[in-house]
Structure 1
């Protein structure tokens, strides 16, 4: 098969603006695409993978009602927050959970074994998402990070506050949303804390405390194959300055240039995980010092391109297409 006819596999939720934008870029380049959500497997997606008949890799077919792709022809995979496989309701428990785990493992690991370009390979993505390890990797790469404490000991939290002798924030160790009784979801945001309020409830679970970095503005830095796209976010309310995700209406959007030493450290950080995409959060202090908070290896970026015009989707398509080879 000619390289032009080799498809890109896009595995993402059905409603995902970033995936839509990448597919549109690939369509403009006449690169064939097969897109599906892992939640459609095994009810609406069929996988037949065989090993040992065409060399060292897996061969076979993945198909749905619209498209078919041969595994050995796939040129790249864009794997972005797909759902988990869904098993029909007629399968009773505990067999339904067992079947879901089987389907999840089979699809994920067959695809992950393909020797192709990935954004990002899910096994590497999972490791790269761990926030405590990110601070170590960022420090080794040469980035400044906030002083931080993870503890379930109230006294340790008080001692940390004394050593900081300044404002503190608390944030989740693990991202995600909480379901509410009303059936909605609640985001646990970064929030300011006062050590005078610390009590024994800190012992109920792990808490993540950090020094509160003074901000001239913040940066959502999107990295695609070494290309850096920096959106400048200036909060115009107390809520937006503490956690801009809580008050989108009070953010001024712009772009900015990444200092050379930060760019070098960011690329070193990405290489340490073996990933090509990341959505990073930085604070820039009034002294123009860049401070790394965290990296989401499957973070959102469609809104960054929409507000800034930065060509992030095109950079994805360049990499997946192999335009630079």
Structure 2
């Protein structure tokens, strides 16, 4: 049945595009481009190829698996990165708290070491422990903001097969049938998330931290010392593990790439907020429109007017 798509007017162009990519990946593997030395970014591609060869897949079959890998790697991660940057940069409070947290918990001053390119010492330039960015014990506000971005913007749906007859309220779910779960409906349920379910609250997922803010804090001054953080016991439930939280799927099936995606996005955010100030050219941030697709977990943004997303980027030097 899947082969019939090549005869469908709607599927013909997609079929040709897929075959073009397959042919390109076949050439890529045949040339050994995935085996280039000193290219750590190719390690994942090379390991997948070795795995496929161990299971007797042909080069063409391996090339076809890469198409699925591309879809999984970028279809939701890229829009997720945009919305994370949007929510952080467009709100001075979120930006100030995330920037300060990254500085305090994930940055370090490396020892003098020879630079690989020119032999010069690092001279006190700061480094980032990227693995800390995804851990709540080090960056609770950053991680909470990330989870809230996914909850607030999630448009994905999930399908599950009913394994045995089940009564759900007054509905009988028969064995073998399919249940479609609309994640945005669950993520906006006030019985699960409270009256603020339809609001973006970047500290919603912070469980064990209380932020004490000085009301005179100038949120444009990211070097201010008026913001303090104290660790306290909290009665906030573990929302990430709640059945109402479907940011990475739910039940027995969770996104296998959730750790890699989180590391990619939060690393990008850390590099941006530590190095740049971003301002809207026209003086205010304008929420972009959203293209919702059944094939992605988050909507793709688009400017309502061509100039809506025009921004000025200034390099900064934090103390």
TM-score by structure 2 length? 0.25
Question: Per residue, is there more helix in 1 or in 2?
Answer: 2
Question: Per residue, is there more strand in 1 or in 2?
Answer: 1
TM-score by structure 1 length? 0.25
